[in-house]
Amino acid sequence: MDLQTLQKHLKSAIQNHQIVVSKMRNDPQNAVLQKHLHDLQSEIQNLSEKQKLVVEQLRKEVEKKKQSQNQILNPNQLNDVVCQQNTPIHTSSQPQVQVRLVPSTTPSQFMQKVTLP
């Protein structure tokens, strides 16, 4: 069951619970109302547990997505990357080039130092 459906059922069960509690104020010894109240409480607990599991799963999926996005950098994210060592770049058509990224005076910009062997 998806989260929205669970929440609709939970909302409905809570509203029904409130109605039964209101009726019990007038007749607190009514066994039928007491049973109905107990059944609604059990339903609310079950739906809450299901909702908790669905939310946990969604959080895990969001975290996985964040991690995968952090592994793929676009040019706008370069200011978040700091290379502390020289990193050789190897391509088949170019000679070896070492690149070191150094933070510039502003956090959003980086200077690139390139040295050829």
| Three-state secondary structure string covering 51-86 | HHHHHHHHHHHHHHHHHHHHHCCCHHHHHHCCCCCC
In this structure, are 20 and 48 located in the same domain?
A: yes
In this structure, are 91 and 39 located in the same domain?
A: no
Look at residue 107 in the predicted model and tell me its pLDDT.
44
d(Cα 58, Cα 3) in Å, to the nearest integer? Answer: 9
pLDDT by residue for the chain (117 residues), tens digit each?
899 999 999 999 999 999 999 999 999 999 999 999 999 999 999 999 999 999 999 999 999 988 888 776 555 555 555 444 445 554 555 555 454 555 444 444 444 444 444
In this structure, are 81 and 109 located in the same domain?
A: yes
In this structure, are 46 and 81 located in the same domain?
A: no
We report the CATH number of the domain holding residue 56 as 1.20.58
CB atoms within 10 A of CB 47: 20
Sign of the Cα torsion 91, 93, 95, 100 reads negative
Which residue range(s) make up the domain with 38?
A: 3-71
Choose among 109, 101, 70, 108: nearest CA to 84. 101
In this structure, are 16 and 60 located in the same domain?
A: yes
Split into its structural domains, the chain has a count of 2
In this structure, are 53 and 98 located in the same domain?
A: no
SS3 93: coil
